[in-house]
Structure formats: structure tokens, C-alpha cells
Structure 1
Amino acid sequence: MAIAHRYPLVVATVACLLAVGVLLATGAQSAAQWAASLFALFVAARLAVGMVRAVAGGRWGIDLLAITAVVSTVAVGEYIASLIIVLMLSGGKALEDYAQGRAQRELTALLDLAPQTAHREVPGGTIENVAVDEVQPGDVLVVRPSEVVPVDGLLASEFASLDESTLTGESLPVERTAGDPVLSGSINGETAVRMKATAAAGDSQYSRIVALVREASASRAPVVRLADRYAVPFTVFALLLAGAAWWVSGEPRRFAEVLVVATPCPLLIAAPVAFVGGMSRAAKAGIIIKNGGTLERLSRVKTVAFDKTGTLTGGRPMLAEIRLAGNPPRFHENELLSLAASAEQYSSHVLASSVMMEAERRGILLQPAAQASETATQGVQAAFSGHTVSVGKYAFVGQQATSMEKAALSSGQLAVYVAVDGVYAGALVMRDEVRPEAVSTLERLRQMGALDTLMLTGDARETAEHVAAEVGIDQLRAECTPTDKVEMVRMIPGRPVMMVGDGVNDAPVLAAADIGVAMGARGSTAASETADVVIMLDDLSKVADSVEIGRRSVHVALQSIWVGMILSIGLMVAAFLGYIPAIAGALLQEFVDLVTIINALRSLSAPHRTARGRGFQPEAVPSKAMP
């Protein structure tokens, strides 16, 4: 009953075929022909109404071929062929649904896993089941064996084994201990655990992923519209060839035989399936691509721009040393660190958390400020304990302090400058290691056509130059504000431009780029929302993977379109020459549909290569002088 409700025309066509078969078996050929012909013409009339509406809406499709094929087969007495064409057209929707479902399997799996209820502890130790939307930060929850963690939180039990494969693509379970963060969407192991919610359901990691997946599932790719445009010349060619077959042979039956094999369902089905398959493959790899248009742009990337901290580097700077200013210094090391960390608690910069973590590690208590203000990406100024403390970049602190000295830095180091009461007090030298996969990622991007690479960073030039040289960046723009980054991306001549970043300050430039890629494992919600691609793993190589998936999806989509058209044209030529009867042609066209859809599903898999990187040969990329 479900199939009949969802695909009534398919069921009606099959019933008509069975009825026609019974009539033919009983010798009622005339009744069989009338029944089949009237049913086929009824379907053709329905298609004609839809075609007129589509043309009125400015969209030309291939319905004209289908209508003409049905009418012509009825006219020449090939009523069985007309029913097969109707079955092919009505069954095309069921075939498309199956192929789309197969292609969307990974995307659908993420949506199906979304938790609906949570087990909340109440005073007295009892458990109540509540809707996941009712969970609030601070609630203590129980997650039973094999259940999905409903919201983000901290583990309250001593130990937990969690499957985070739906979030990160990592198939092996991860182990967490008391106090460790647990992400919504993780699947608990074999033992029930307790956790303390740190976010409501709508603000949790899994809800963000689900929202991105729903957006991706609803998209329609430019290459699908391109397939619609192919339909116009294909229709004209098929009608001309069918007319020529009639004129050359003198048989109107030949006209019908050509049109029977000219119904290109692959144009309607194959391209969308290839794109949904590409997005599904990306989701399985921990990459959420929000729409099909992004896949198409990824396939043509010419320039890639990167933020530095947290993108090309690990984003977890550690204190290497404290360099005190003055002879003798005004403060001891821990005193300077205490002042700097107390000010940095009012900053959103990634380095601020590193400074505070080092103070906590040394057992230093942070002091509350009477007044504090932050200049985005530059630094923070705070007043407490009778002191005014400025912490940040050299230029920022230099505007408010005397006797400034620039710290000598080696590769991978950066400095946080500190001034107290308008006098330079010293620098905290931090070290942020370059990601181990950064060099290979840039090499792969160049191999796939991205010949220009840039670094756009707010950090000091000395620090940025070390990182750019280490990973092989072509061009560098340092000491940028968020506005500077937006303007620079807009002026880049090599399009499309892909921008990769991870922080709140990257959100404007991610939105301005042709393709914004957010490193979403630790990145901000703002960056993830404005980006076109969100990488859920803390792995820069996924940037290159996303480009590879885009290239393969477009290649498979276009290949499927052309395979379908070439096979149809070959069959049309054979029908033109009189080698394919109408019934055989209708069956062969169904075979063409299957071939092209199976080919489109190849976008779900990676290209066969015997080794990582093999199959692409690096091109020589001339080095550009850093400005």
C-alpha cells in the first residue's frame, strides 16, 4: 500500500500492462490496443500540462520528447512500446528516489541519529525522561549503553568509551575520563555514564551538524541546471533525426522508433545523484559541504588563502619563555605572567587562553579587573590592583608604552608583549607548531589546480614569515585586521578563491570568499555558519579532500550526462537505420537509465589510486617574493 500511495502512476501502469496481457491472451487484441492507447494518451496529456507550466516558468526540459514518443507509438500501433515508455517515465521517479537515497545514506544517517529524549537526574537520585530540547546547562544526565549523547557536556563518571565516528569520521572508540568534554552525537559504549550538560540542544555540536546537513540535502547544483540546458539541443536533434528517418524510409513507424530511444531520463537523474553522492562522501569523511554549488566551485579552485593560528598551525600555543624588560627587571616572571593572564581573561584571542592556561598550571590566581577593553585581533587593556596593564601585539602595546623592544624570534615562535602603567615590562614568547599535514596539504592543492596560496593573518610579520616559509606559502599579508582580510580576498584575481579559517574574526572573510572553509572542530559557531564548507575534524588535509571530492563529483556528473546522451544517440542512429523495433528500443532506453545512474553513484567512492597522491603529478610552481 505504501508503494501504491507513493507511486500511483507506476502501479497503474503495471496494472494496465497486466490487463493488456490478459486481453491479448484471450484474443481480444482490439480491446487491448484501445486500453493501452487510451491509458498512454492520458499520461501524455498529464505530461503536456506539466510541460506547459514548466515552459511558462522559464524552464525548458525534455518532456516534449516523452510526449511525442508516446503519441507517435500509439499512432503507429506500437501500444506495448507506449506502455513501456510510460512505465519508464513513471518508474524514473522511483529510480531517482532509490538512487538519491543511496547517495544520501551518510547524510541521512546523521539526521536519523539525532537524539529526541534525555535521561535527567532530579533531586533524590531518580531519573526522568525529558525531551532533549528541555535540557539546560547544568543538568546532570544519564547516558545508557549504546545511546546517543543528547547535548554537549562534561563527563561526570570516572571513565567512558565513546564512538565519535558520526562527528569526526574516526572509526575507533575514544576514551574519556572525568571532566573531559563529551560531544552530542557521540554514541556511548557498553556502560551507562553520567554527564553534566554545558549547552542546550540547539547550541550543541550535533545540532549544528544536523542544521548544516539539512541545508546540504535541500540544495540544487548548477550542473543540474546545466543538464536542463543540454535537454534543448538534444530534443531538437532527436526530433530532426526522427523526421529524417520517416522521410528517408517513408515509414511513420521509423519516426516513433527513433523517439522511443531518445527519452533521456539520465539528464534528469544522473547529475543530481552524482552531487548528492559527493556531499554524502564528504559527510562520511567529516566534511559538511552545504550545497551543490559549493561542490562545483571547489572543482575549479585557483587560489587558496589561509589564516595562520589554528589553521596552518595547531592553534594551541604554549609558553616557551618569559623575557623580562629592564635592568634590573621591575617584575619577577610569575608576577608578569599573573598581570598578563589577569588581563587576557577579558580577551577572545586564541593566545589569551594559552596565557591563562600557563598561569593556572603554575598555580597563579587571576585578578578581577575594575575596567577592561579589547581591540579585536590586537590586544587588551585592563586596570586592576592599582596597575594599568596592556597585553597584545607589538604595535598595540607600543602605542601605550615607552622603551619598547622587539623580541627576537625563531621559527614557530610568536611574542605577546606586556606593558604596565605605560612602561614596557617584557614579552611572553609562545610557540605554535605548524600542523604536520600542512606541507602535504598545500602540495595536494597545487596538484589539483590551486596554483596560488596566501596567508592572511593578524599576527606580526616576523612570526608569520617563519610559518609561511616552513609550509611553502607563496604570498603573505601580515598584521591584517578582519576588514583588511575581506578587502584582500575581494581583490585576488585568480578565482574562485577559497579561504580557510577557524575563529570568530574569520567569519567576515569566510563569507566574502567564493568558498569559505571553517575548521569547525574547535572553531567558532560564527565561522561555521558563514562558511560554505565545515570541517568537523581537526585535520587540515580535509581541505584538500574537499577539493578532490568537488572535482570528482563534477567529473562524474558531467560524465554521466554525456554517457547517457551518447548511448541514446547511438541507439537513435541504429533506430534510424531500422535495426531497433519500438518495443526493443523502449527496453534498451531503460538499460541506458540504469547505466548512467550506476555511473553517477561512483561519486560516493574515492578514485582508485595505488598510493596517496599517485595519479596527480606535481606542477612546478614559481615562488613569489613575499611583500
Structure 2
Amino acid sequence: MSRPIRLALRFWQVTLTVTIGIVGCVLALTGAGDLVKWLFSAYSLAVAAWQAVGMVRAAMNRQFGLDILAVTAIVATVLVGEYIAALLVVLMLTGGEALESYANQRAKRELDSLLRRAPQRAHLAVEGGYRDVPVSELKVGDVLLVRPSEILPVDGVLLSAVTSLDQSSITGESIPVEKFAGDPVLSGVVNGQAAIEIRATETAAASQYQQIVALVAHAAESRAPIVRLADRYAVPFTLFSLALAAVAWLMTGDPVRFAEVLVLATPCPLLIAAPVAFIGGMSRAARNGIIVKSGGVLEQLSAAKTVVFDKTGTLTYGTPAFAGVRPQHPFTADQILTAVASVEQYSSHVLAASMIAAARDRGLPVYEAHDAREAATNGVIAKVLGQEVVVGKFSFVAQHASNARRTEIGPGQLAVYVAIDGTYAGALLASDRLRENAKPTLRWLERLGVRQTMMLTGDATETAHHVASELGISRVRAECLPADKVTEISSVEERPVIMVGDGVNDAPVLAAADVGIAMGAKGATAASESADAVILVDDISRVAFAVSIGRDTVRIARQSIVLGIAVSIVLMIIAAFGLIPATAGALLQELVDLATILAALRAVGGRLDKRARVASIPGTDRLGLG
């Protein structure tokens, strides 16, 4: 079936109206003018009756919209004999719905592209080769082949030595990411130019991409409360239009003038603007690695007055990193770091990778260790160059070095103690680092109108206040249980309030906030399921960017609605003086519809994203926005 035929069937109301018009033109050419009048009038009144039924149903539910203007305009033009104008009003109504549908599809293209890209089949490793199977049949532990430029079907671990993954469609990162053997890989990203093998760590349903698809599907089905913003203008706009039309009739004594005014009061611009703008805003957010679950979230973001952050994993990276060495004479810092890095090669401790990286950054050698033994939760013992090296907690190291002594640590720091051949050698310090762009993000939020900033954390008071002071956050509540966080959020007076967190323990408070934002880059968690928006890339500045998108979307929606009202009012006033015939007025109103849609489509935001990169915070040009 060809595309024109598909479009004609899809928008059958428009097709029927155009067909009626063509038939009327043919009849007029044959001299059957009276038949044309009856055909156009009967069809227009039938459409008006159908619209009236919907209007009555809405009124019974106490929903008073703008349908009365359209119905009145059709009836009035038929009664005064302007049957061509009546058909054009019908075309405007049906065409407006078609234009809205087209604009929605245009605005949703980033959301729809995620849904269309969902992997359907995978190459499962079997004895003697590979077999194609539906992704729904994959199990944890399956080994899969991913060919060049294919989409990874499930979350997994890379088995091949190295690959380059394009994550732009998921996280908005424009630069491919290098992954090495043992690194976790997420479903939905695109493989590079070499075939790779991965081992599935999740089923398809539990994988990151399917979680995103579910969020997107939910977002696409939602309707923003501000879509009803047009209805707030409905009563005054309807009363003004009817009053102006009545005055024009009374002043001239010509009922045609009543119809001419009402033709230009047909409310398509008001009905179209807000839905198109909000779908465009959600599409823009998805393109930049932010899944917004409903249009209403964008409205709340635009008006936010307070933002509350969890600390660990949100304002900080969430993993302790090497911060320095405190050697004990006669050992040197380099000796201690070399010994620890060599031992930590065999440790699963969260600090191991950080210590090894610190040694390599200093150009220190990392030697092979022998007889490595790990004491769970306490430390590691191994032999390096013939010396016994003990690394771990103070109590564990003190069992192997009688001269061990505790070192002084600052807020948010922890110490890893070291003994070499039974002698205390010193300690290595580690701390959970602040995110580099945390402070600029707070400044960006303040410029966007979010005046109050607060931090809630389960961490120790001293550590919490230390982090808060570095970021300039004055309102802090430390040592919080999940229930305490919910209580604190409920007591915030400056609303709407945004809560940003990343852990499972943040799920209750994310649900309790006006807008819960989950840092979901590490996978689908309870936090992302209970949140109103999910940031798919590990970048806190996207919180401010989400607020910016919300403000832009609401502004554009309101501007588009006001544009439609203003142009309609100007044209109605001109028509009241008899300067715009009913048929010409109906044609002009079609142009108003088009202008309103184009104005609302600005919310899709290509130029807005470029402006945000320039005007927001240092470094956003490297974040892959847009």
C-alpha cells in the first residue's frame, strides 16, 4: 500500500471532508448549485452534531472546553447560507487533528526510535557455533555473539579483549566508549567495528534497555496537566468570542457578521499547542539521556523551588578513591604504594582498582604477588619480591605488626593500613570524591530559579557537613534513615521540591517528592522505578538540564497558546468590521493552526540544546548534550 493511501486511510475524516468538497465542485460545474448547498450544509451539521455529543459528555463530567465555539461556528455559517465556509470550518477541525497527530509523531521521534530499536533476536553460542534465538529466551550466563554495528540485546560482561561502544542513543554521549574484558556492558548500545562475545548477566526483561523502553512507553502515553491549560482560557475566550460576534450582529443588523467572527474563533490553536509542546519536551529530554515519565513532570520541573540531593553516589562518585600515603619511617610513599598495588591485584576490595591506578599514574612498577590470601572484610596477605605484605583494616594489620598505630583521618576519609615483613609501614588514605561538576550544577540550578538546596544523607554528620560546606549547601540532615528522608521532604515549604538520589534506599523519598530524579546510569534499580525521571548517564549536571528543559517546554507551550489566542482575537476584531468574509476567515484560521504547531514544535529543542551548552556550566560542551 502506497504512502498517500495509508495517509488517506489514517486521516479518514480529512479524506471524507475533502471528498465532499470535490464532489461539490463537480456538482457546481454541472449547474447543480442547490444540491451543493444541501450537501455541504448537511455534512457540516452532521459533524457539528457529533462534536456536540462529545461536548455534552464532557460537560456532564464538569469539563468545559472550547468545543462550543466550533459547533456554534458551523451552525451559524450554515444558517446564514455560508455553506462553503461551514465546510472549511469542518476541514479546519479535522485537519487540525491530523496536523496535531503529525506534529506529535514529529515531536516523539526520539522516543519512538528507542522503541523501534529494541533488539528482537540474539546470536547464542552453542556447541559448534551460534544459533539465532529470540531475546526473550536468553538466560543469565548465556554467551552471545554481537556482530559489528549490532545492538547489544541484554546486559552482560564483555568476554572479548576490547571493543568500542556507541552509547549515544541511550545516554546522549556523542563519543564512543572503550570497554575491556570484564567490563559491564548495557543492552541497547551499538557495538563497534569488531565482533565481540558477552556473557549475559540479566534476562532481556530485566536489562537496562527494556527498562528504558518501559519508561519511554509510559512517558509517551501520559498527558501533562498543562494540556488542560487551554481549558483555563476556554470560558473567557468563548464568552469574549460570542460577545464580540453578538455585538457585530447587533451593530450592523447582519447575522452574517456573527458567523464571520465565530469562524475565526475556532479553537484549534488552543487544543493543539500544549500537547505538541510537551511531547516535544519529553523527546528532547530522551535525546539527552533523560527519560521523563510524564508531561506533568516537566511542568513540575519548570516551577521547582527546592532541590534535595542524596550525598553518596549523587553529589559524590560513590566509590572511595586514593587520596594519599602516610609512610612510617623507614618506608617511603612509593615503596608502600608499589607493595599495595602489587597485592591488590588479587583483591576484590572496592579500593583495589584505585590503588593500582594510583601506582601506575606515578609510574611505579606493579610486581607479581605470590601466595595471596584474602581475609574477607579484613584485608589481604601476599608475598611481593620475597616480602610478606599485609594490607587492610587496622585491627587486621596490627595482628601482623606490633608497632602499628592509627593515623588521623579527616571527614569522609578512610585509612588502609600496611605492614611489610612484620613491621608497620604506614597507611594509605581514600575518600569519596565530590563530582567535578557538582558545584557548577548547583549554580546552574540557582540561575534557573531553584533557590533552595538541601542535602539528605545517611552518612556521619561530620562527613555530611564537610561535603556540604565545599558545595555551599547550608541545609543538611545527616544520619538519616529512609523514613527520616521522607519526613524531611514532606516538611519542605518551598515547593515543588525535586529529590535526586541513586540507591535502593532512596526509592521511598523519590516517590514522596514532587519530582523524584534517579541517577540510573548503573542500571535499573528500585530508585529508577519509583522516580519521575531517570538520568541514563552518570552526570549530575543533567538534573539542571532537566529543569531547563521543563522551563523551556512550559514557556513554549504557553507562548504557543497565547499566540493562537492573540492572532484569533485580532482577526475576529477585523472580521467584526466586515473586512474578512466567512470563507476567507476559515482559510486564515488554517494558517493560524499551522503557525501554532510550528511554534509548539520549538520544544523539540535542537537550538535550545546548543544554547544550553553555551550558557549553562563549564564543560557541558563535552557532555554530549544535543
Normalising by the smaller structure, the TM-score range is: 0.7 to 0.9
CA contact (8 A) 2:9 2:15 kept: no
1:207 Cα offset (Å)? 0.8
Who is 2:198 aligned against? Answer: 195
In 2, Cα distance between equivalents of 1:139 and 1:608: 40
1:406 Cα offset (Å)? 9.7
In 2, Cα distance between equivalents of 1:216 and 1:573: 40
Structure 1 counterpart of 2:262, which letter?
L
Who is 1:376 aligned against? Answer: none
CA contact (8 A) 2:224 2:294 kept: yes
CA contact (8 A) 1:503 1:524 kept: no
Task: Please show how residues 283-362 of structure 1 align to structure 2 within 5 Å.
Answer: 283-320=286-323, 353-354=350-351
1:60 Cα offset (Å)? 1.6
* Residues 169-225 of structure 1: CA deviation (Å, up to 9, x unaligned): 112222223222221001122332221111100111101111111111111111111
In 1, Cα distance between equivalents of 2:6 and 2:373: 65
TM value normalised by structure 2: 0.83
Task: Please show how residues 326-475 of structure 1 align to structure 2 within 5 Å.
Answer: 353-354=350-351, 407-409=408-410, 413-415=412-414, 429-475=429-475
1:465 Cα offset (Å)? 2.4
1:285 Cα offset (Å)? 0.6
CA contact (8 A) 2:274 2:561 kept: yes
Structure 2 counterpart of 1:490, which letter?
S
In 2, Cα distance between equivalents of 1:206 and 1:451: 35
Structure 2 counterpart of 1:128, which letter?
R
Who is 1:278 aligned against? Answer: 281
Structure 1 residues 523 and 427, CA gap change in structure 2 (3 angstroms):
farther
Who is 1:518 aligned against? Answer: 518
Which piece of structure 1 moves more, 584-593 or 311-320? 311-320
Who is 1:17 aligned against? Answer: 21
1:8 aligns with 2:9: no
In 2, Cα distance between equivalents of 1:321 and 1:615: 34
Structure 1 residues 248 and 391, CA gap change in structure 2 (3 angstroms):
farther
1:610 Cα offset (Å)? 6.6
Structure 2 counterpart of 1:165, which letter?
S
In 2, Cα distance between equivalents of 1:208 and 1:275: 22
In 2, Cα distance between equivalents of 1:292 and 1:314: 30
CA contact (8 A) 1:502 1:524 kept: no
Where 1:453 maps in the other structure, the secondary structure is: strand
Q: Percent sequence identity over matched residues? A: 54
CA contact (8 A) 1:319 1:355 kept: no
In 2, Cα distance between equivalents of 1:203 and 1:324: 47
Which piece of structure 1 moves more, 545-554 or 66-75? 66-75
1:207 aligns with 2:194: no
Task: Please show how residues 77-116 of structure 1 align to structure 2 within 5 Å.
Answer: 77-116=81-120
Structure 1 residues 160 and 427, CA gap change in structure 2 (3 angstroms):
closer
In 1, Cα distance between equivalents of 2:236 and 2:66: 10
Task: Please show how residues 27-66 of structure 1 align to structure 2 within 5 Å.
Answer: 27-66=31-70
Structure 2 counterpart of 1:237, which letter?
F
Structure 1 counterpart of 2:151, which letter?
V
Where 1:11 maps in the other structure, the secondary structure is: helix
Where does structure 1 lack aligned partners over 5 or more consecutive residues?
Answer: 326-332, 346-351, 370-379, 383-389, 393-403, 419-425, 617-627
CA contact (8 A) 2:165 2:179 kept: yes
Who is 1:151 aligned against? Answer: 154
CA contact (8 A) 1:138 1:197 kept: yes
Who is 2:402 aligned against? Answer: none
Where 2:194 maps in the other structure, the secondary structure is: coil
Structure 1 counterpart of 2:170, which letter?
L
Who is 1:585 aligned against? Answer: 585
1:270 Cα offset (Å)? 0.6
Who is 1:229 aligned against? Answer: 232
1:366 Cα offset (Å)? 7.1
* Residues 514-542 of structure 1: CA deviation (Å, up to 9, x unaligned): 11111111266111111111111111111
Where does structure 2 lack aligned partners over 5 or more consecutive residues?
Answer: 329-335, 358-365, 380-391, 395-404, 418-425, 618-626
CA contact (8 A) 1:409 1:462 kept: no
1:122 aligns with 2:121: no
* Residues 330-376 of structure 1: CA deviation (Å, up to 9, x unaligned): xxx99xx9xxx9xx99xxxxxx744798699997967687xxxxxxx
Calculate the aligned-residue CA RMSD, in Å: 3.1
Where 1:569 maps in the other structure, the secondary structure is: helix
Where 1:114 maps in the other structure, the secondary structure is: coil
In 2, Cα distance between equivalents of 1:528 and 1:599: 33
1:31 Cα offset (Å)? 1.4
Aligned residues: 559
1:577 Cα offset (Å)? 1.1
* Residues 45-79 of structure 1: CA deviation (Å, up to 9, x unaligned): 11112222222233222111111111111111111
